[in-house]
Structure 1
Amino acid sequence: MFDQFEKHLYQTVFPTRPPENIFHFTTQSGILGIISSREMWATQVHFLNDKHEIFLTFQLLEKQLKRRIGSAQTPALRSLLVDIRKHLKNIDQRHICIASFCEKGDLLSQWRGYGNQGKGYAIGFNLSELRKIAKQQHFVLWPCVYSVSLQLELVNYLIDNWLREFCDNKLSHEKMRKIIDISTGQLAPILKDESFSEEVEWRLVSSVLTSKSPGFAFREGQYSLIPYYKFAITNQSGNDCIKSIIVGPSPHHELARNSLTTFLNTQKLSRVEIKSSKIPFRHWK
């Protein structure tokens, strides 16, 4: 059912005219690490800046399952829906890692988060090439879904798929749990509250990982160690998909551009186009 659901996701949420490039906002230390290592750190979902956003999908699923349980026409259907609901309550510790991008490379809200003190950058990646690289590493790249009506459609489509799969096949509870785990892992990272729609965010989403997965690592966090995945931004031929870099608002714009140019030259990335933010510099708080 996973291929079927992924196909439905593509048909439903992937734009008919996708942007040529998408942008990853980062800091000085971030751009140094990404360019030097040709890797991005995809953070485990429970350690995102807003750790509650991943639960939106579970809240929607809970609401729809509760509604269906109340209107179930047979005891067997009601029992199955209750089982699904129980499984959902036990899968909130999945190791799914994500990295975020925006369609807009010069966005005030993002500079406020990453560019304070004039230290922000937006790395522009070619969308088509990044999708190919993602597939090689068992990641997918989706636009986030902000529309409430579309979110409900996707959640109910997922429930319908579970019911068909579980009714047609006699599966163990462990097999059911695994199917629910993997399929919610595809959907949960891309449903976001509509108040964030300005970001027009895309997310790079891993398959379900374990602590033994190659590339799985930990970094220092404010309150705890943070698990993440080392996502390579080069393809199997060693070519990366960085096309441009936007230097964020800065009190020393030319200096920032010149030093970035020199750094890219040392990394054999002189072909990368460098642009400057059109937003005036402020000491945002």
Structure 2
Amino acid sequence: MTQLFYHYTDAATTLKILTNQELWITHTSFLNDANEGSDLLKHLRKHIKNKDILKLLEFIDTRTDAYSCSFSKQKDLLSQWRGYCPPEEGYAIGFKSPDKFRDFMCDDGLSIVGAPTKDDTYVLTRHSHGFEACIYEDSEKEEICKKMASHMEEDYLKLQPDMNNFLTNLDRPPAGLKDFLHRLEAGDVWLSEYLYYKYLFKNENFKEEEEYRFFLTFDMNYKQNPCYREKNGVFIPYYRYCFDYKDIQKVVIRTSKLKNKCEQGLRHFLRNDKKMSQDEIELFIETSDIPFQ
């Protein structure tokens, strides 16, 4: 284990990341977990007595979009090489946690960038404050959900008296929707705590990945303009996270028949494109200890 967070990928993506200094943060509906985002509500149902609260949470789910990028604290993990890299290649890019996570509207401009728009603006509702560890253990999930359910039961009373009318008209929300959303925003549990854990709870079958993630959530009411890429015939929405090159500390090359050529090419790129010294390159490149070919 190191203090870095590793993003496993293929050579083409590694080249784009190193060249463009950006990561693509993918819409959570297009990740490899088919139940992405649903695990939290499954556990909350056991602890929430007021069924109207569940209706409210389901409404919040329909109002939000989320984007995520995955990492591991393990720099040389067999399941990551198998899951995210082609048979003959693989790179694990080691990032330190960026200093400017807490302020995407930094002095240098936007750190999160979507597709260009007429006025080139959008609204980011919330984001993780670093690389956050996913939660797999049922015991930890249950403890979190007990506290969250209690908080929701208490805060729900503050949303009265128009709650019943709102919940019976979710298919055609009333004219006061904007004000109501502001009230949800004022309660820490609804649009902060709930959406935070929603994208950290993961099915226990993915535990071996030991995933850390960086994620964004948008309210559907706000204008958002993601970019799109194509994979296997599917249009996939994503945002670009633009980082400082110093945020990358290391690249680990997977063991394969092409390992020597992979290292030779990466050294050539770093020396010529990134103007790194020989000593810097020696610290930057590492090779896998796992004899997996």
Please give the TM-score of this superposition, normalised by the length of structure 2: 0.74
Counterpart CA distance in 1 for 2:102 and 2:56 is: 28
Q: 1:55 to 1:25 in 2, by over 3 A?
A: same
Counterpart CA distance in 2 for 1:40 and 1:225 is: 18
Which whole-Å deviations, capped at 9, do the CAs of 1:189-244 have from their partners, x for residues lacking one? 11122333222211101132557336x2111132431111111122xxxx531000
2:127 is matched with which residue: 139, 144, 148?
A: 139
Q: How many residues align?
A: 243
Q: What residue number does 1:280 align with?
A: 291
Q: 1:90 to 1:253 in 2, by over 3 A?
A: same
2:263 is matched with which residue: 257, 260, 270?
A: 257
Counterpart CA distance in 2 for 1:198 and 1:182 is: 28
Q: What residue number does 1:154 align with?
A: 144
Q: Secondary structure at the match of 1:52?
A: coil
CA contact (8 A) 1:218 1:226 kept: yes
Q: What residue number does 1:72 align with?
A: none
Which whole-Å deviations, capped at 9, do the CAs of 1:159-217 have from their partners, x for residues lacking one? 22222323245476533666634432211111122333222211101132557336x21
Matched, 1:28 2:11: yes
Which whole-Å deviations, capped at 9, do the CAs of 1:23-81 have from their partners, x for residues lacking one? 0101112111111111101111111112213211121122322xxx2xxxxxxxxxxx2
CA contact (8 A) 1:185 1:208 kept: no
Counterpart CA distance in 1 for 2:272 and 2:217 is: 34
Counterpart CA distance in 2 for 1:279 and 1:124 is: 17
Q: 1:279 to 1:209 in 2, by over 3 A?
A: farther
Q: Which moved more, 1:271-280 or 1:162-171?
A: 162-171
CA contact (8 A) 1:115 1:249 kept: no
Q: What residue number does 1:233 align with?
A: 243
Q: What residue number does 2:37 align with?
A: 54
Q: What residue number does 2:59 align with?
A: 90
Q: What residue number does 2:193 align with?
A: 183
- RMSD over aligned CA atoms reads 2.4
CA contact (8 A) 1:22 1:103 kept: yes
Q: 1:61 to 1:274 in 2, by over 3 A?
A: same
Q: Which runs of 5+ in 1 are unaligned?
A: 1-17, 70-80
Counterpart CA distance in 2 for 1:160 and 1:34 is: 43
Percent sequence identity over aligned pairs: 27
Considering Cα pairs closer than 8 Å and 6+ residues apart, tell me whether 1 or 2 has the greater RCO. 2
Counterpart CA distance in 1 for 2:89 and 2:262 is: 9
Q: What residue number does 1:198 align with?
A: 208
CA contact (8 A) 1:251 1:281 kept: no
Counterpart CA distance in 1 for 2:30 and 2:41 is: 17
Q: Which runs of 5+ in 2 are unaligned?
A: 105-125, 167-179
What code does the residue aligned with 1:53 have? Answer: E
Q: What residue number does 1:116 align with?
A: 86
Please give the TM-score of this superposition, normalised by the length of structure 1: 0.76
